[in-house]
Structure 1
Amino acid sequence: MSLVIDKQLQRVRGQLLHRATRTEESDAPLPLPAICVTALWHRYRQQEAAREKAGEAWHDTGMIFTTRYGLPVEPRNFNRSYDSRIARAAVPKITVHDARRTCGSLLVDLDVHPRVAMAILRHADFSITMEIYSQVSSKATRESLRKLGQSLDQ
């Protein structure tokens, strides 16, 4: 299964508006890992229940993550909900951008080619992916230095 994101939600003069994504690369299908597919199916079932409960008050926006009436989620409400869930889970708070950086760093640790990581993170500029969204772990650093040492010993 894959996901296509061809719109973004932006606040313009106090209103939430759908806008086209900035680049064609942003619109490219993104294959989803099974864990993401499972989560999206779960969300879909939740949304179907909300649609049924809302009845005629439902707004069919075609979006996956909406309010109980199908409307776009206000960014401030998203942040409040996100913070609340973090507190309930008793895990360290990270921002959504921290989660993106973690994804980039994990891709580096998995030896994913930088251009592939760039496509996954939907960056138009390679340097953004490599300089901001990917950090090399201590484990990867140790392993690289071990390999370097082995190559020098030969």
Structure 2
Amino acid sequence: MKRSSGCIGAAARPKAGDLWEEHDLVFATQRGRPMERSEDYKVWKSILKRAGVRDARLHDARHTAGTLLVEQGVHIRVVQEILGHARVTTTERYTHVAGAMMRDASERMGSALWGDT
């Protein structure tokens, strides 16, 4: 993943000074190096604990992000790009339909069939 202006590396770079190693990463260590594979897991668990929420897999956050985007009306193809899926069918499996969305669909169908009541 390529670095962006809002990335962790951009904030850490000035502090690291001459110790900084440029690898063009979005998420990097305090010295610009790639993070260890388990580092995101450790950070995730720490965030959950500090926030006082139930334990969950980091992967669950991807499902939540996809579902929240769909619930906000973001087109499924845009969600596909954000999640980095090659196929939209994968994105559809990642997202979940909430009760509010089902009620909205039912109300729209009722309106289409019988008009506003």
TM-score (ref. length: structure 2): 0.77
Correspondence for 1:44: 10
Correspondence for 1:146: 107
Amino acid of the residue matched to residue 96 of structure 1?
Answer: L
Q: Distance in 1 between matches of 2:47 and 2:71?
A: 28
Alignment of 1:91-130 (within 5 A): 91-130=53-92
Correspondence for 2:47: 85
CA shift for structure 1 position 103 = 1.9
CA shift for structure 1 position 89 = 2.0
Q: Distance in 1 between matches of 2:8 and 2:20?
A: 19
CA shift for structure 1 position 128 = 0.4
The structure whose residues are more often strand, as a share, is 1
Aligned residues: CA RMSD:
2.4
Please give the secondary structure, in 2, of the residue aligned with 1:69: coil
Aligned counterpart for 2:95 among listed residues 134, 139, 153: 134
Alignment of 1:68-83 (within 5 A): 68-83=30-45
Cα pair 2:13 2:20 within 8 Å, conserved: no
Return 5+ residue gaps in structure 1 as ranges. 7-31
CA shift for structure 1 position 80 = 1.5
Please give the secondary structure, in 1, of the residue aligned with 2:55: coil
CA shift for structure 1 position 69 = 2.7
Alignment of 1:11-50 (within 5 A): 40=6, 44-49=10-15
What is the aligned residue count?
114
Give the percent of matched residue pairs that are identical in Structure 1 and Structure 2: 29
With over 3 angstroms needed to count, the CA separation of the structure-2 counterparts of 1:119 and 1:90, relative to structure 1, is same
CA shift for structure 1 position 41 = 5.7
CA shift for structure 1 position 42 = 6.6
Stretches of 4+ aligned residues off by more than 3 angstroms: none
Q: Distance in 2 between matches of 1:115 and 1:144?
A: 20
Q: Distance in 2 between matches of 1:68 and 1:115?
A: 34
CA shift for structure 1 position 58 = 3.2
